């Protein structure tokens, strides 16, 4: 039934203009504000997600969006140069001084770096172990 359905993420913000600038200018994604006042954001390929305004917005306490990258160190450095601060976590997902939780070998999962959007939602960069 649903296995052929197209899926996409959606989450809220308390400041649509800040989100529009962040996703469009800082992250370099294609952002369109539609007639309903919702941001439609296009990432690589045909992937898209939406961000909608919500007065009583509460930031998610978990990762709402993941960007798969080929070189996490380079991407972290590039975004940090644009003013993004990466989150610092302790074990078991301990991050280094740049905010990267490095994969430590087979069966350990991907390398991940987490950061927040202007509304406090948690996003991540992920480099799969190859």
DSSP per residue, 52-65:
EE-TT----SSEEE
At residue 3 the predicted structure's pLDDT band, cuts being 50, 70 and 90, is confident
pLDDT at 63 over 90: yes
Distance CA 74, CA 61 (A): 26
pLDDT at 130 over 70: no
Would you state the pLDDT for residue 7?
A: 82
pLDDT, one tens digit per residue, over 12-62 is: 999 999 999 999 999 999 999 999 999 999 988 768 999 999 999 999 999
The domains of the chain, with CATH numbers, are 9-127 (3.10.180.10)
Question: How much is the average pLDDT of 70-97?
Answer: 95
pLDDT at 1 over 80: no
Nearest to 66 by CA among 10, 110, 125: 125
**In what side-by-side order are the strands of the sheet with 48-53?**
9-13, 48-53, 39-42, 30-33
């Amino acid at each position: 039934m649903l296995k052929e359905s197209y899926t996409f993420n959606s989450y809220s913000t308390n400041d649509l203009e800040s989100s529009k600038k962040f996703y469009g200018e800082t992250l370099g994604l294609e952002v369109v504000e539609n007639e309903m006042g919702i941001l439609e954001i296009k990432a690589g390929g045909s992937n898209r997600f939406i961000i909608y305004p919500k007065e009583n917005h509460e930031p998610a306490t978990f990762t709402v969006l993941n960007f798969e990258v080929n070189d996490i160190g380079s991407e972290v450095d590039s975004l940090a140069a644009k003013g993004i601060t990466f989150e610092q976590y302790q074990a078991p997902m301990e991050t280094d001084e740049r905010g990267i939780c490095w994969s430590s070998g087979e069966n350990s999962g991907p390398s991940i770096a987490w950061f927040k959007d202007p509304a406090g939602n948690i996003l991540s960069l992920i480099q799969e172990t190859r």
